Structure formats: structure tokens, C-alpha cells
């Protein structure tokens, strides 16, 4: 009996001692060769949103912070989600000034709500915008418009996109939008875009992506751009061109005069944050 116990206990004790020695050696090696992380990395990370969206071009917030330390500050790189205030604070950590960038925001290049486009088919395949775009042209007329599945809403890490229950189109909250571009990458139809926010948040854009000719495009959606060219001729700054049967507004040339909005026959040109002008009758009363 005693011999049996010795045969069991001795190997256990030997293995225990060897394990303890190995652990001690590993601990000494780790302490000896440990690489201390620059404390500024943690300071930068605290000022980042932690969404790991990749909009900065790096693997995530930690990688962005590491790159800041390597470059001696946010030189030529920016985190859209951090905001101007935090980018200035990050630059201050390195004794530098943050590079000034124009605020940007996501816009929807589609205004074809479920009331303006018509049912074209019944889709019963795999759900989701990407799957639906692969297997069909969508349940509504206009094969270029929003598929209304809400993948952009699910992809937005800042809660800036919500699906309107009436129009079934995504609605962008510009106060929450960081222009990270994840929604742009997610949308298989390419109807989301990142544009300059504009002075006082005012901007003008074409809310259509239909590249079909005028009559066909209008048949698929009542508010489609029909490439009539009236906006191009009206713009005094040469900010509008026609590309692939769709009008395109260059935000760098646009002076926000809104003359193009007045002449667009389908209402495909949208605006944001302009004051509502009172009509003469309202002003008199």
C-alpha cells in the first residue's frame, strides 16, 4: 500500500516542482525581455471612439494610436469618429497641432421611397441587401435604388442611421454621423456617399443613382434624375456635370445658390439645413 502511494505521489511531486521551476523561469524571462508600451498610446486611445471602424485606414483604434506614436503625432492621418476637439487633444499630447479637415457627412443618393417606386417582383431568397442584390434586381422598380433591408443601419457603429418606417429608406443623423464610410462600404448599390458637410451644415446633392436614360429612369421612379441637363446649364459656377445619365455636383465648385434645385423637373436635387424662405403672402400677413 505504501509502495503504491509512493509510486503515485513521487511523480506528482516531481512534476509539481518542475512546473513551478518552469513558471519561475518564464516569469523572469518575461520581466527581463518585456517591451514597455509607450504611455502615450493609452492616452491617445482614451480620446478615440473605440468603434474600430477602420475609417482611418488602420486596423483599429489601438493601431491608430500606435501609428500616432510612430509618426510623432497625427501627421497625415485622422480619425473621423474622434471629432475635431479630440484630434486637437491627440495632437497636443505630442506637442503639435492637428491638421484642419473639412467636416464630412454621409448622404443618401436615392429618394425613391416605397410610394415613389412600384412593386416589381416578390423576392423570397436569402435576406439582406447584399444577398438580394446578387440574386435579384430587388422587389421594386429601379434596379439602382435602395433595397430597404437596413444593412447600413446595422453596420453603423455610431447609431447614425435608422430606417424610416414610412419611406423605408435610411435616414442619416448628421449629428451622430462621423463620416467613417462603413455604410458606403456596406451598401451593394453604392447609393451612400461621403461629402463635405458644408458651411453651416448646408449642402446640395443629387439624390439619385439611376444610370438609365430619362424616360426609363422616370418610369422606374418618379423622382429619378432624367439627365435633362437643365441644372448643368443653370449653374453659374460650372459645378454640375452629367456622368452616366446622372447629374453630379462638385462640392468644391458649388456655391450653394440652389438655382439647380429650382429648375430640376423631378426634384432629384436635395438640400440640407437651408433656412426656409417665407412666401410673400406669409410675410404680409
Q: Is 7 inside a domain boundary? A: no
Do 75 and 135 share a structural domain? no
19: number of Cβ within 10 Å: 10
Chain position carrying cell 506528482 = 12
Q: Compute the distance between CA of residue 242 and CA of residue 230 in angstroms, rounded to an integer.
A: 10
CATH no. for residue 142?
3.30.70.20
- Whether residues 68 and 198 fall in one domain: no
Instruction: Please say which residue of 93, 117, 133 terminates a domain.
Output: 93
Where do the H-state alpha helices sit in 35-173?
Answer: 39-46, 61-71, 83-93, 129-135, 151-155
Together in a domain, 253 and 134: yes
* Model pLDDT for residues 207-251, shown as the tens digit of each residue: 999 999 988 999 889 999 999 999 999 999 999 999 999 999 999
CA distance 66 to 58: 10
Q: What percentage of the chain carries pLDDT values higher than 90?
A: 56
Considering the domain architecture, whether residues 185 and 263 belong to the same structural domain is answered as: yes
Binned at pLDDT 50, 70 and 90, residue 42 comes out as very high
Q: How confident is the model at residue 195 (pLDDT cuts 50, 70, 90)?
A: very high
**Same domain membership, residue 111 and residue 76:** no
Q: Is the pLDDT of residue 259 over 90?
A: yes
15 domain residue, yes or no: no
Give the closest residue to 90 by CA, choosing from 146, 52, 42: 42
Q: Which residue range forms the structural domain that includes residue 57?
A: 39-93
- pLDDT of residue 3 exceeding 90, the answer is no
pTM of this structure: 0.77
In a domain, 4, yes or no: no
Residues 6 or more apart from 120 whose CB is under 8 A from it?
137, 138, 139, 140, 141
Predicted pLDDT of residue 247: 97
For residues 131 and 164, membership in a common domain is answered with: yes
Total domains in the fold of the chain: 2
CA distances from 144 to 60, 136, 157, 184, 187 (A): 32, 12, 25, 15, 11
Query: Which of the residue ranges 113-117, 250-254, 270-274 would you say has the lowest mean pLDDT?
Result: 113-117
Query: Are residues 132 and 253 located together in one domain of the fold?
Result: yes
Residue 191 domain flag: yes
Which helix (DSSP H) or strand (DSSP E) does residue 108 occupy? strand 104-108
Question: Is residue 159, in this structure, part of any structural domain at all?
Answer: yes
Residues 83 and 115 in one domain: no
Residues 120, 82 share a domain:
no
What CA–CA distance (Å, rounded) separates 253 from 261? 16
Q: Is residue 5 part of a domain?
A: no
Same domain, 174 and 261: yes
Radius of gyration (C-alpha) of the chain in whole angstroms: 29
Angle at 251 between CA 246 and CA 252, to 5 degrees: 130
DSSP run (H or E) holding 9: helix 2-33
Q: How far apart are the C-alpha atoms of 172 and 197, rounded to whole Å? A: 13
Handedness of CA 256, 266, 247, 159 (dihedral sign): positive
CATH of the domain at 69: 1.10.15
Separation of alpha carbons 48 and 79, rounded Å: 8
With H, G, I as helix, E, B as strand and everything else as coil, classify residue 177. Answer: coil
Residues 244 and 156 in one domain: yes
Give domain status of residue 11, yes or no.
no
67 in the same domain as 179: no
Classify residue 88: in a domain, yes or no: yes
Burial annotation 92-127 (CB, 10 A radius, 16+ → b, else e): ebbeeebeeeebbbbbbbbbbbbebbeeeeebeeee
pLDDT of 2 reads: 62
Amino acid at each position: 500500500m505504501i509502495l503504491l502511494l509512493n509510486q503515485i505521489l513521487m511523480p506528482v511531486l516531481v512534476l509539481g516542482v518542475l512546473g513551478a521551476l518552469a513558471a519561475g523561469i518564464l516569469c523572469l524571462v518575461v520581466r527581463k525581455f518585456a517591451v514597455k508600451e509607450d504611455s502615450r498610446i493609452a492616452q491617445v486611445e482614451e480620446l478615440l471612439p473605440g468603434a474600430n471602424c477602420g475609417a482611418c485606414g488602420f486596423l483599429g483604434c489601438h493601431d491608430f494610436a500606435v501609428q500616432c506614436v510612430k509618426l510623432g503625432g497625427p501627421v497625415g492621418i485622422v480619425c473621423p469618429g474622434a471629432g475635431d476637439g479630440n484630434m486637437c487633444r491627440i495632437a497636443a499630447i505630442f506637442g503639435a497641432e492637428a491638421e484642419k479637415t473639412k467636416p464630412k457627412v454621409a448622404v443618401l443618393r436615392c429618394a425613391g421611397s416605397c410610394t415613389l417606386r412600384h412593386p416589381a417582383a416578390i423576392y423570397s431568397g436569402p435576406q439582406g441587401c447584399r444577398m438580394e442584390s446578387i440574386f435579384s434586381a430587388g422587389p421594386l422598380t429601379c434596379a439602382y435604388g435602395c433595397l430597404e433591408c437596413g444593412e447600413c443601419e446595422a453596420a453603423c457603429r455610431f447609431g447614425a442611421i435608422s430606417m424610416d418606417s414610412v419611406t423605408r429608406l435610411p435616414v442619416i443623423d448628421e449629428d451622430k454621423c462621423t463620416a467613417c464610410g462603413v455604410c458606403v462600404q456596406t451598401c451593394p448599390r453604392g447609393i451612400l456617399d461621403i461629402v463635405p458637410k458644408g458651411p453651416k451644415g448646408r449642402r446640395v446633392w443629387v439624390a439619385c443613382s439611376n444610370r438609365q436614360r430619362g424616360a426609363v429612369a422616370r418610369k422606374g421612379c418618379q423622382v429619378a434624375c432624367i439627365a435633362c441637363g437643365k441644372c448643368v446649364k443653370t449653374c453659374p459656377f460650372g459645378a454640375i456635370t452629367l456622368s452616366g445619365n446622372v447629374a453630379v455636383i462638385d462640392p468644391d465648385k458649388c456655391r450653394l445658390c440652389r438655382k439647380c434645385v429650382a429648375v430640376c423637373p423631378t426634384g432629384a436635387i436635395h438640400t440640407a439645413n437651408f433656412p426656409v424662405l417665407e412666401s410673400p403672402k406669409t410675410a404680409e400677413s
